[in-house]
Structure 1
Amino acid sequence: MEEKVKVSCKIPQEWEAKIELLAKERKTQPSKIIYEALAQYLGENANTDDSRLNALEVEVTMLKRQIAELTILVRNRQPNSLTKLPEVPANVEDDHDFIEDEPDEILYDFLPPEER
């Protein structure tokens, strides 16, 4: 078994909070999160029993965080800044001459009757 050494470095408090949150979400210790992050950065195997599961958990956690951030961004958008969709006239459903924008219908409309 390889001998392990202790290393230390100073990190921003924001990182510490993120590491602790991730550890809480994964029900593990912050030191294990840091260990696995360093192993991944160095291209090494973290030699944890469930490293593949952990990798998936990390990915899912990151995706959840990104979804939460996007949700906040969408909610904070001003209604005036949203692009307005074109309004469809109320009588479109009654209009038999209305052509839907579907490529196959448009192409068939231009074919001679014997080729339709």
Structure 2
Amino acid sequence: MMSEFPDDRTVNIAIPQEWVNQLQERSRQTGRPISELLREAVGQYLAIDILTSSPSPVELELLKREVSDLRRKLFVLEKTAVSLELLESRVATLERRVGWGTVTPGLSNPPVVDDDDEEIYDEPDEILTDFLPD
């Protein structure tokens, strides 16, 4: 098998199964091989800054993928923010149309009153005394 770098060395180490699981999950999420993730982690541990040295073609490809992934995530977040703003604006408009500050679920169906209901046409003094026993 040909190495990605001509002077690469292979290192075998034993790591806990939990780390293996986390590496597999991160690899699945990012679409990057576990070997790249480990190489990046070792590089960070040794304080190797990819941007200060000439990046290899593999490192450039890795950076391109990361930038592409970040752009996709930013697009989704911006789209979500715009959707939330539109929804918030729509809710505010509906609240103004209904005339309520907030919509209360129990008040969605106001009581129905017949046109011939005489109690609606009570005199003011009758309205004030209707609740008293006769």
Q: TM-score, normalised by structure 2?
A: 0.38
Larger radius of gyration: 2
Higher normalized contact order (CA 8 Å, seq sep 6+, divided by chain length): 1
